[in-house]
């Protein structure tokens, strides 16, 4: 079996789904991690908050065509996989999340941050 069992997850409520508008990105803290929480259409996502390029705050970015766009230099990260559009080997950490009874929850387990679609070197 790959990954952790669902029961091993540590789900932390972070926001009401109704409070996050389509196209919006906000800064949240999940335990000791800074996270950018966003809504791409009807899908929610959670990624690391700082751009790996120069550390810009991705919570100040915009969502465009399925990508979270860095406000500093325009780097475009896929909201599903975290991959940089022009170089898939550069990835954001992405965090599992779910919506339960209208509440967005992010997995805060020790191994919760994943970069599932990004190759390892």
Element housing 36 (H / E): strand 33-40
Average pLDDT of the chain? 88
Domain assignment of residue 70, given as a range: 11-105
Whether the pLDDT of residue 120 is over 90: the answer is no
What's the number of domains the chain is made of?
1
Which pLDDT score, from 0 to 100, does residue 43 have? 97
Residue 114 in domain: no
Whether residue 4 lies inside any domain: the answer is no
Position with higher pLDDT, 27 vs 5: 27
Query: Does 46 reside within a domain?
Result: yes
pLDDT at 18 over 90: yes
Asked if residue 97 belongs to a domain, the reply is yes
């Amino acid at each position: 079996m790959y990954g952790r069992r669902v029961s091993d997850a540590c789900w932390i409520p972070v926001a009401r789904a109704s409070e996050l508008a389509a196209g919006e990105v906000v800064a949240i803290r999940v335990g000791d991690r800074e996270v950018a929480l966003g809504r791409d259409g009807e899908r929610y996502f959670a990624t690391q908050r700082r751009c790996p390029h120069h550390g810009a705050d991705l919570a100040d970015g915009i969502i465009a065509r399925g990508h979270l766009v860095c406000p500093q230099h325009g780097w475009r990260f896929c909201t599903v996989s975290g991959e940089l559009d022009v170089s898939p080997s550069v990835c954001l950490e992405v965090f599992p999340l779910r919506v339960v009874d209208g509440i967005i929850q992010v997995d805060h387990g020790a191994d919760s941050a994943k970069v599932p679609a990004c190759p390892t070197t």
